[in-house]
Chains A and B, each alone.
Chain A
């Protein structure tokens, strides 16, 4: 389809394992965002990119979290040495322009850390 695609949709992992979550934005979209959404809460900003440049990573909880977008399209959010508190829905969104504008969200990757 033409929407934002995320994979995997569901990921169950054991504490201490590394996980990589992938986001494929809408073709041609300049900006890409990562959010984390706990149950019953709004999306919590993690980081965003314009093209391949990471513009703001102030929302990443700690240094176990990192993100990249090496070719300005697909992005990967990596969580190292996962902990139970990392369990959440991780959502990716993209927008056409670098200024404020509509975000198109993917269906998310639900991470469960046992």
Chain B
């Protein structure tokens, strides 16, 4: 089955700096790669996703890149703000199966 690894486990940046979180996956058939943000006491919420037919996707300060050959994808947050502080999870899902697998998470802290 799919195995997703995520790095780093913790990340601390200064407000205004960029943050990058990286994930690798094992199943070359996976074709859907979402990123979820989890705030304290809440369930994960989707912030951006990418499908395997594109290499990059942007949504304001957030971008995701995908390298299918290397089987890795990354989340980029620019101009970080304190409210970006949360735990971020990457995930990968193969076609025909809905058993999305998650990484272990990255705790991002943005210092004002």
Contacts and interface: CB of A to CB of B under 8 A. Distances in A.
Given A42-B103, A42-B104, 11 more contacts: A40-B104, A41-B104, A43-B102, A45-B101, A45-B102, A55-B98, A91-B43, A91-B44, A99-B95, A102-B34, A103-B34
Contact of A42 (B1, B98, B99, B102): B102
B61 interface: no
B10 to A, nearest CB: 10
A43 B44 contact: yes
Contact of A33 (B4, B41, B98, B103): B98
12 contacts: A40-B104, A42-B105, A45-B100, A45-B101, A91-B44, A100-B93, A100-B100, A103-B36, A103-B44, A103-B46, A105-B36, A105-B43
A80 B32 CA distance: 34
Dominant secondary structure at the A interface: loop
Report the interface size class on chain B. Answer: 20 to 34
Interface of A: 4, 31, 33, 35, 40-45, 48, 50, 55-56, 58-59, 91, 93, 95, 98-103, 105-108
Nearest to A42: B102
A100 B32 contact: yes
Nearest to B107: A40
Interface string B16-34: 0000000000000001101
